[in-house]
Amino acid sequence: MKAYNQTSTIHRLLTTAVLSLLFVVVSLSFIPGCTTTGKSSDATTPPAGQETTDAQAGTDGQSTQPEGSDVQSDQSEDTSTLSDETTLPRLSLDQNPDPLSSDSKESSLEGYGAKGALADKDLTINDMLVYAVQDEYLAHGEYQAIIEKFGEQRPYTNIMKSEETHLSLLEEVYGTYGMDFPADSSAEHIIIPSTLLEAAQTGVQAEIDNIAMYEIFLTYDLPENVQQAFTVLRNASESHLQAFQNQVDRLS
């Protein structure tokens, strides 16, 4: 009987010890940072009220466009297509090219700028250079007039600066042949649009005509300096055309 009582007492003590140990383990599991599960929860579950902030931040840590910023987004898209915003690929123009022949220097213009070039069936190299300069002057003046009427607007501000680099390139070509660079007489040919949509449509047509002009020029046997310049200017106009078309699509 005595042995039975001792066994019963030991059993009760062991049971009590096991229950105490379980209580300690369970208590520790509720203390933050004491278990792997607690750390994982802290790392993956944002605190209350943080979900909206994280969604706005995006995966790269940058905030997304707020509601109502569609115009700014569209303008960024327009300028993103401008591969030459204010600069052109560096050309290695021959500073001592062969002189132009007397026939190449003859001039018989049929109009002004791209429209004149497209109507001219007897183009000389001098004609082409003059038409190119005229059309770049005209584009610059047109976009400047649009900015003066409607305020600074993309893509007009960027493209107007591009036209200045185009004129600088053509002036350099003139210099390699010792020719006087034409003065700007575009003012009398500028037509100011009445709305921004009309302005964008004007830009589209101007760039289409400009590209067509250079395409025709490039079918001729041209001196290397002239060919390089016309190729670069045509490519730049293709970029400008896309920017204006984006603007037409947004405003239509």
Give residue-wise pLDDT tens across range 188-199: 999 999 999 999
- Spacing of C-alpha 125 from chain mean position: 34
pLDDT over threshold 80, residue 171: yes
φ/ψ of 57, rounded to 5, equals -70, -35
Residue with tokens 């929860």: 41
Q: Could you tell me the pLDDT band of residue 234, with boundaries at 50, 70 and 90?
A: very high
* Eight-class DSSP state of 99: P
d(CA 227, CA 62): 45
d(CA 238, CA 3): 104
Q: Could you tell me the pLDDT band of residue 176, with boundaries at 50, 70 and 90?
A: very high
Q: Tell me if 129 sits within 8 A of 173, measured CB to CB.
A: yes
What per-residue confidence (pLDDT) applies to 252? 87
Over range 17-29, report the average pLDDT. 61
Give residue-wise pLDDT tens across range 121-169: 999 999 999 999 999 999 999 999 999 999 998 889 989 999 999 999 9
The number of C-alpha atoms within 13 Å of 180 and in the hemisphere containing its C-beta is 3
Between 239 and 73, the more confident residue is 239
Number of H helices, E strands in the chain: 10, 0
What per-residue confidence (pLDDT) applies to 75? 42
Average pLDDT, rounded, for the chain: 78
Kindly write down the DSSP assignment for every residue of 179-228, as one continuous string. PPPPP---GGG----SSHHHHHHHHHHHHHHHHHHHHHHTTS---HHHHH
Q: Could you tell me the pLDDT band of residue 29, with boundaries at 50, 70 and 90?
A: low
Q: Tell me if 35 sits within 8 A of 29, measured CB to CB.
A: yes
pLDDT-above-90 percentage for the chain: 56
* Eight-class DSSP state of 143: H
Residue with tokens 């004007």: 202
Give residue-wise pLDDT tens across range 50-64: 444 443 433 444 433
Between 95 and 57, the more confident residue is 95
Between 35 and 223, the more confident residue is 223
| First-to-last C-alpha distance (Å) of the chain | 103
What per-residue confidence (pLDDT) applies to 76? 39
Q: Which long-range contacts (CB under 8 A, 24 or more apart) does 52-60 make?
A: none
Question: Quick one: tokens of 141?
Answer: 């003046």
pLDDT-above-70 percentage for the chain: 64
